[in-house]
Structure 1
Amino acid sequence: MSASGIVILLVYVDDIIIIGTDCGLITKLQQLLHATSHMKDLGQLTYFLGLEVHHQTNGIFMNQHKHIQYLITLAGLEDTSSVDTPIDVNVKYRKDEEDLLDDPTLYRRLVGSLIYLTTTRPDISYTVH
């Protein structure tokens, strides 16, 4: 942070996002990173960790449409329709009555991805939890 602005550096594994209020400071940081390590500038942010970023004149907007479409395909639900309650209500399930999941790994991936969706969407997270 300086008297003229602020620069924020977000690092996730080998990806870096640089944002700030002072373009000059951002450029200086980019030059420093280029001089000290191998770094490729991919330009304006459009996609990061499942988040699509859209730059418009009235602001920056994010959504997760691609990630959600990927999950629908992964679950094999492309040709299905939505319902308010996807399972029968008042049904008692027991672990010894039904066959085990065909692919528990797929189930874990889907659950983990759905949890990720709720943590990146506070409005959904509040409702779910």
Structure 2
Amino acid sequence: MRKRTFTCGFDAALAVVGGKWKILILWALHCEGPLRFGALRRAVDGISERVLINQLKEMEASQLVHREEFPQVPPKVEYSLTAFGTSLLDVLMPLGEWGTANMERIASLGAGGSGAGGREEGPRPTAPSPR
């Protein structure tokens, strides 16, 4: 397998956290602790089952989340943050604080400010409060 090269630190970070849902999944696991698939889907408002499955597979491959299978009937699987995922969330907290501080302004821009990723309805995940 060929090792990927990155143009800068942002490029490397976005390789593991890029997309609409990964930060919200990290945040849900941070707030709630280890979660089963159904509970995680309920915690991340608006995500489809297929998208959550794909995002979790990518995040497991990137070592952001740990998937633990319990040997029982019926099968039980829990997802939790790894130390690597927690370290990423630690540096994303200021981004969440910036989003909280600028939420009204961003909302007034419509559709998340860029036409992509904004959500029109439903509850929003609780953003980290300023320190």
Tell whether the structures are fold-level matches, with TM greater than 0.5: no
User: Larger Rg: 1 or 2?
Assistant: 1
* TM-score, length basis structure 2: 0.27
Query: Could you say which structure has the higher helix fraction?
Result: 2
With the length of structure 1 as denominator, give the TM-score of the two structures: 0.27
Name which structure has the greater RCO, CA cutoff 8 Å, separation 6+: 2
As a proportion of its length, which structure holds more strand?
A: 1
